[in-house]
Amino acid sequence: MPDYDLEKLDDYRWQIPKTGGMRVPARLYATEAMLEDILSDDAPQQAANVAHMPGIVAASLAMPDIHWGYGFPIGGVAAFDPDDGVISPGGVGYDINCGVRLMSSTLTKEALDRRDTERLVDALFRRVPTGVGASGALRVDPSTLPQVLRNGAEWAVGKGYGSDADLDVIEEGGQVDGADPDAVSARAKERGLDQIGTLGSGNHFLEVGYVSEIYDDEAARVMGLHEGHVTAIIHSGSRGFGYQVCDDALSDMDKAMNKYNIELPDRQLACTPIDSPEGQKYIRGMRCAINYAFANRQVMAHNTRLAFEEALDVPPREHGLQTVYEVAHNIAKFETHRVNGHEQEVCVHRKGATRALPAGHPLVPGRYQHVGQPVLIPGDMGRYSYVLVGTETALDETFGSTCHGAGRKMSRRRARKTAGNRNVTAELANEGIIVRGESRRTVTEEISEAYKDVADVVEAVEGAGLSKKVAQLRPLGVIKG
């Protein structure tokens, strides 16, 4: 275990002091019980490395689901001054705008028997392609792709995939301005033609579950979450398109760092000034990938509704699937925050971290103005997930950010070794959870033991005041890539 000079600030906050070339301290949110797992990884060192970056303000932040990533840790948050700060693809991640959508329904868990659940999971597996390189849900031609990249979920709704009611409760309304398809390589565009409406691989999933516990009656009511009612969670991002945008930008910035006299302890933190040609090109391309991911999840949500109708032989009014909210957790955005007592614009990098805005904030949809922005924290496929709301403390301390999930504590290789010859699908079926995966290997890599217990992660962010619990969800069936 690395020997960190870790200061305890309180029961939920820990700090690596500013030393050497660090421009700010690195602050970690976690319970003491979580520290052993967190410190056994290199992720805290990555958080300290981020603190060396030009123009960083306040602190390099790490959420309790922190684990090792490319450059930035997954679970890392950092904000940069637009005048003298940098933009870093590693601070957003390869899967740009990977995010989560939660849908609620009027169906109850008791109304679905095991055969219903199996039919539903099978229908989802047919309608939402999974796996590495998955394609086939929707193909667009080269002349249409720029419309997707500029308009995101709005494009999908305009084509009949869902409705404006979905757009009202998606972060940014499902579309960000400033996307420039000319800033994206031909290879990225090629990869984006046939992956809209696809789940992908790794930790991406589509889960059918139910509301198992309510902690905040009013917030749950406003969100349309009722105990025992069926839910659906979609977790995916910008697929191969976003990966290519990131990869292209990392190559460009790695070559350009010497030009800007930027020296950092880890070359994976490749970055350039926000106002540099390389930085501006990446921002325009990243926004294309953000919109691509919004469109991708919108099409999957539409096909999820169709799967319910097909498998359960019910019309839309009987399943009542509506979008509760959709959050992004691999993104960089220009936002106004209070820094050192003054309001200023900053470029907030959230990598494996979710926006968490309080009640009354102007960016919270009208439906949620008096309860706060919904925060969606999925767990692993064998346990539970959580819905929370943002808080003023998050706005004050973390640029309105919180955790994004359970966070891995095992590599995929170690998970496979731990699982050995176990039949994980059969184990979960015995617990009443139906799983369909593109391969046995994918399911094995995603065993519950590979992840922190998301209840511990949620305890840490709630204890620190960054988010407040609303409801717990438990799985009935899952499809994975």
pLDDT per residue as tens digits for the range 40-56: 888 999 999 999 999 99
Span 78-83, average pLDDT: 98
Active site residue ranges: 404
pLDDT per residue as tens digits for the range 280-328: 999 999 999 999 999 999 999 999 999 999 999 999 999 999 999 999 9
On whether the CB atoms of residues 256 and 272 are closer than 8 A, the answer is yes
pTM over 0.85: yes
Q: What does the pLDDT read at residue 481? A: 77
pLDDT per residue as tens digits for the range 130-166: 887 777 779 999 999 999 999 999 999 999 999 999 9
Query: Is pLDDT above 50 for 200?
Result: yes
Residues comprising the chain, all counted = 481
Q: What does the pLDDT read at residue 2? A: 59
Structure tokens at 359: 């009640």
Residue 306, number of CB atoms within 10 A of its CB: 15
Which pairs with CB-CB distance under 8 Å and at least 24 residues apart come from 412-418?
412/445, 412/450, 414/450, 415/444, 415/445, 415/446, 415/447, 415/449, 415/450, 416/441, 416/444, 416/445, 418/447, 418/449, 418/450
Q: What does the pLDDT read at residue 133? A: 77
Sheet holding 342-351, edge to edge: 7-10, 13-16, 26-29, 56-67, 74-80, 342-351, 330-339
pLDDT per residue as tens digits for the range 345-370: 999 999 999 999 999 999 999 999 99
Distance CA 45, CA 52 (A): 11
Q: Which domains does the chain have, with CATH numbers?
A: 7-480 (3.90.1860.10)
Span 63-78, average pLDDT: 97
Distance CA 327, CA 385 (A): 14
Q: What does the pLDDT read at residue 142? A: 97
Span 58-77, average pLDDT: 97
Residue 260, number of CB atoms within 10 A of its CB: 16
Span 164-175, average pLDDT: 98
On whether the CB atoms of residues 473 and 212 are closer than 8 A, the answer is yes
Q: What does the pLDDT read at residue 438? A: 83
Query: Is pLDDT above 90 for 3?
Result: no
Query: Is pLDDT above 60 for 1?
Result: no
Give the percent of the chain with pLDDT over 90: 94
pLDDT per residue as tens digits for the range 379-432: 999 999 999 999 999 999 999 999 999 999 999 999 999 999 999 999 999 999
